[in-house]
Amino acid sequence: MRRTALIWVAVAAISITMPGCSKTEGTKPPSREEPAARPGAVGTGGAGANVKSDDDFVRDVAMKNMAEIELSRMALDKATNRDVKAFAQRVVSDHVAAGDKLKSVVAGQPIEWPAQLDDKHRKTAEELGRKQGADFDRDYVDAMIEGHQDLAAKLEARLDVQSLADWKTAAAGRTRSNTLPEPNTAMPDVQVRPAKSDNEGTAKINQWAAETYPVAQKHLDAARTLENAMKKRSTRVVSPFSEPDRPLATQPDDVQRRAGAAVQ
């Protein structure tokens, strides 16, 4: 009898222990409550969590765009190097078009458009305006390199990460030469895509950034080519922006005469 009672006590203890274990496991957070994706993450875009608001982004790029135009209009008057002057004309044309397009993209949105250059860019323009001759050409090209590097970096924040990486790989694979990049040359097989956004206004701004980025990079490449050419005075840069019948300044006099006679 006593043995039977002990068996029932053991059975009861097991019955009490089993629900306890099950209850302990049940306190574990269900998998559906675990964050499968972060709401703020951008899986296919370059924006990420550190992107400024649309208002700040537009003001920044509009200011930089305005500065490139003002410095380049100055170069049209003061540059002594024909290639530099031709490059400046291309910059003015492209950036005026980009600025007009951005204005139309943000029309109707409560975004403040800069009315004039800020103190930083105004100082750069004033310092450049005091330069003359070759010093002006060199400092203008340096300003274009710095400005376009900064502009391109800001545009990248609004681009699709993978397409940007593919574009950079294709751009790096292009043959490097002593000639400026052809202004109308594109890489049709590699297209930069905008970062995705559920906000219609942001999506339009990102699309503008995707269209503008290759142009900014092309300007940067051209400015670097001009910089290298001016450092190597013995090498004449061949520019698609300039007239093709200019004298070959680096050739011996007799070769130049023969080249001139052949053109005639």
15 inside domain: no
Q: Is 254 domain-assigned? A: no
> CB–CB of 148/219 below 8 Å?
yes
Instruction: Give percent above pLDDT 90 in the chain.
Output: 55
The CATH number of the domain where 84 resides is what? 1.20.1260.10
Q: Which of 5-19, 58-72, 187-201, 231-245 has the highest mean pLDDT?
A: 58-72
Is residue 23 domain-resident? Answer: no
Q: Which of 19-23, 73-77, 235-239 has the lowest mean pLDDT?
A: 19-23
Residue 140's contacts (CB-CB under 8 Å, 6 or more residues apart) are: 71, 72, 74, 75, 79, 84, 88, 128, 131
- Would you say the C-alpha torsion 66, 70, 73, 75 has a positive or negative sign? negative
Question: Per-residue pLDDT averaged across 39-65, rounded?
Answer: 65
Q: What is the model's pLDDT at position 239?
A: 57
**Mean model confidence pLDDT for the chain:** 76
pLDDT digits (tens, 9 = 90+) for 103-132: 999 998 888 899 999 999 999 999 999 999
Whether residue 187 lies inside any domain: the answer is yes
CA angle, 144 then 148 then 151, to 5°: 145
Q: Is residue 10 part of a domain?
A: no
The pLDDT score that the predictor gives to residue 186 is 57
User: What is the reported pTM?
Assistant: 0.67
Residue 157 has pLDDT above 70, yes or no: yes
pLDDT in tens, 196-230: 999 999 999 999 999 999 999 999 999 999 999 99
**Is 17 contained in some domain?**
no
Average pLDDT of the segment spanning 26-31: 45
Q: Find the domain containing 126 and state its range.
A: 54-243
Q: Are 129 and 139 in contact (CB under 8 A)?
A: no
Is it the case that residue 181 has pLDDT exceeding 70? no
Span 241-256, pLDDT tens digits:
555 444 434 444 544 4
Nearest to 179 by CA among 93, 244, 247: 244
Residue 45 pLDDT grade (very low, low, confident, very high; cuts 50, 70, 90): very low
Q: Residue 110 has what pLDDT?
A: 87
Q: How many domains does the chain fold into?
A: 1
Neighbours of 83 (CB within 10 A): 24
Is 160 buried (19+), middle (13-18) or exposed (0-12) by CB count in 10 A? buried
Residue 259, in any domain of the structure = no
- Cα end-to-end span (Å), the chain: 130
Query: Which among 8-22, 72-86, 236-250 has the top mean pLDDT?
Result: 72-86
| CB-CB contact of 144 with 68 (8 Å) | yes
Residue 258 lies in a domain: no
Name which of 59-68, 84-93, 160-169, 246-255 the model is least confident about. Answer: 246-255
Q: What is the mean pLDDT of residues 175-183?
A: 52
